[in-house]
A and B are shown apart, each in its own frame.
Chain A
Amino acid sequence: MTQTTAESPARRQRAQIKERTLRTDPWWRYPLVTFIIFTAFVVYATWTIFDASYFVSPYHAPFTSPCLATSCPEEARLFGLAPFGDWYTLPPALLILGFPGGFRLTCYYYRKAYYRGFWLSPPACGVAEPHKKYTGESRFPLILQNIHRYFFYAAIVIGLILAYDAVKALIAKPGGLGTWILIVNAILINLYTLSCHSCRHITAGRLNHFSKHPIRYRAWGIVSKLNAKHQELALISMFSIMGADLYVRLVAKNIIAFPFV
């Protein structure tokens, strides 16, 4: 089957080079930095689940929004709803954190970053990975990454809720620092959501004739521009949501007072 080249017995061998890599640049920096940042994010997110100071009127800590349990303060409930009833006694964040979490977990950027930083598969380009076998996303469980688009739909809803929270804050406290932190965060989160590869596919990426769908094509163009910045948006919005969340909690804990009224 091979394209014809002459046969010679020794030729099926790769060059025997013992070194795992011959790279001389600090290739380990990217996986290391990724590892540290992501670990910090996960640790923080886990802590927020058990932290009860997620609301201080009119600010809602984004990691716990929307609040859907009966344990949520009246004012913190989304449209005043508590659909789960009294039987649910676990922390309210547990109900919703899976959606944005899942969105980021299955995001094409995050996948790249943690496959490199955590699983070392590969740690960097041209650096051998430590694993004996590799099947990638062709089998369970990683084949489940293909459901990314459902998390995208959920992330749209979460993004809208965060925007709603920010608008509520704006109405109640237009000059509040927290208000503007929430607004900036909501914008970044929504930009990150819209820059998603699944979103790009859904707007028009799946079509073969852009010219027959001019509006979708235009949307695709915008999403594509955002998509080129997906990695940056993923990281910036990660920091912004952590920062916004922490700010609200610190205010709620009375550790910092409300500046600017």
Chain B
Amino acid sequence: MVSRRLFARAAVAAGALAFAAGTLVSAPVYAAKPLKIGFSMALTGGLAGAGKAALIAMEIWRADVNKKGGLLGRPVEFVYYDDATQPAKVPPIYTKLLNVDKVDLVVSSYGTNEIAPAMPIVMRKKLVFPSLFGLAVNDEFKYNRYFQIMPAGPEPKTDWSKGFFELALEQNPKPKTVAIVSADAEFALNAAAGARKNAKAAGFIVVYDKTFPPSTTDFSPIVRAIEAEKPDLVYVASYPPHSVGMVKAAREVGLKAKMFGGGMVGLQFAAIQKNLGPQLNNIVNYDFWVPEPTLNFPGVKEFLAKYQEAAKGKGVDPLGHYLPPYAYAYLQVLEEAVNATKSLDQGKLAAYMHKTTFKTVVGNVKFGSNGEWATSRVLMVQFRDVKPNDMAQFAGPGKRIVLYPKAWKSGDIVYPFNQ
């Protein structure tokens, strides 16, 4: 006969077994060890605003992918360090990621200066390297596992301004002269060099071609000097503080050019858009994504809703149209490659990334042989009907009309600029 004590012990043991079995059955999908993605990011220093926004977007991707069961059945973890927008900090960070943290995959920081120092380290380990907004970095390294998400096209330096000059050629009366002005710094000089090439190829006469120091704050003398040459087109390659200064000076001076804009960084950010308000009207400038119906890619609105919620109170771009969708997309590319190849084999991933057209929140992405987009999608958009002191107006369509490329066109140009 079974004693009461024995029965109680058996019951406890059975209960424990059942609990253990139940735990095993209902255990989270992630029994496997996490899959680590490593990167450095500009979270402080000059590019911190953009870097923090990129990180928010990347964290949204991580949450989304983990909700779907992770990658290869493993939960995704980020290992990242702040590079403080200092190139010298990048090599130690990537060597630590690879040698100490033993990450499975790496992606880049934001911006050319922070991407380039990681290249030799990544190349030595033969890793795929999705990168975020580097301008023509691979022109020097020629690394066949480099994949850059900014839609600057196979020849980034010239593709950047191609749309501006192609639009100008279509106008009537046809413009003849152009002024090119740029900040004396990395991106702006490259963009201006491309603009110079495109202008000459299109047969425009360059009547003004000068640079200004990045520390410039008073742009009126520059705009007056440009105005003295009476150019039909004014192509500006500048960083955010200069872009604001140039737009304000152009309005103060009453610039009479027929097209004004081109390569001004900053006019894509909601805070600057609100600050400049109607002064932006009719400016034709580059952009990468705007909330026009032609660019309503699957998932982009849902992503932006999550981003805008997460960005509240963090001092980053509240609308997040410029960089964040691409920060999400460069991880989507990696996600699809890993899922499709069911592997972390870097050779297989690279081969897949070269041959595939990826469906992302920024549309279809196909990489060319140099790791840049196979076809440029640098948009030329025109600000229209902008009202003062209203940031919300930029969240919807109708304020930045897509003029170029034709495949994404959402309206016609208002020409000339200063009418």
B partners with A: no
- Chain A residues with a Cβ under 8 A of chain B: none
CB within 8 Å of A: which residues of B? none
